[in-house]
Amino acid sequence: MLKTCKKGNWFEIIIPKTWDGITIQELFQRKWNSPKKLTHQFRMEQKVLVNGQKADWNKPLTPESKLQINLFEEEEINIPPQYMEVSVLYEDDHVLVLNKPPFLNTHPNDLSKDTNTLVNAASFYLQSKGEMRNIRQIHRLDKDTSGAILFAKHPLAGAILDRLLENRKIKRTYIALVQGLFKQKKGSIKDPIGRDRHHASRRRVSSSGQEAVTHYQVIKENTKKQVSYIKCWLDTGRTHQIRVHFSHIGHPLIGDTLYGGLPFFKRQALHAAKLEFLHPFTEEKIVCHAPFTDKPVIFQDIDLYTL
């Protein structure tokens, strides 16, 4: 794990031996995959120092030297804050993980009109702590899906996490309650998903759709009620992917009436229970478990910490 600390608006990294010989330019472009525009901004605005001095972006770094990056300046807020209680699963100077309740949109579709979303709540939370910066969501959940969502607190962290997500290095494990009992208790669904031209909000399995891969494992069954509790994780992130895939194989999610689920609950029984990722700067492995919040309880006697 890297040695780091925050000093005012500056973030300091003690250069490890593994970075010996790489330049700041290579660090931003190759290791962190920072967008060209953002990298150029850090360079032109002299937001990077080495041992307190103006950095030479093309000079190799040496172990134990101090790399200082101006990451924490105040920003002009473009996400309207909206107060609501938030459940914090993990937080530091760079990232924030919240436990999203059901029946709440992840982000506004119209910044000026939609303020009752998790992004607006996260914006209020940051500002209430004196952090005048725009929150950046890394992924999303459907309105009626609950669980862990990852946010970045500044653009560089956002860029690094975006690339980790793109490279499938952020793992999200879901719990779902579905109809029926499985003959095969563990497997993968690899059917492509596309839009349903007959329904504006639905998706469907389609040979012309985008690649979609869902892995699953049955963790509990109720033979009397003919339902199964499953954990699943994705190689891709298509809209409604879990809901579409399990409906397609004859096991729609309980409560998911859009895809044929029985209306035992007011929402689809889907929860993002576990989130795993490498910290964008310290490279520490972060594991977050998101407690269930439904009343009445949907996921009976499931131990999140065994997933």
Gap between the Cα atoms of 243 and 249, Å rounded: 10
Which residue numbers are catalytic? 142
- At 278 the three-state DSSP class reads strand
- The answer to whether the CB of 293 falls within 8 A of the CB of 146 is yes
Nearest CA among 88, 71, 43 for reference residue 131: 71
Question: Within the chain, where are the H helices?
Answer: 24-26, 36-44, 118-128, 155-166, 241-248
The CA-atom distances, in angstroms, between 21 and each of 15, 25, 39, 67, 155 are 10, 12, 19, 14, 26
d(CA 94, CA 8) in angstroms, rounded, equals 14
Q: How crowded is residue 54: how many other Cβ atoms within 10 Å of its Cβ?
A: 9
Distance between CA atoms of residues 219 and 186, nearest Å: 9
> What is the rounded distance in angstroms from the CA atom of residue 281 to the CA atom of residue 68?
13
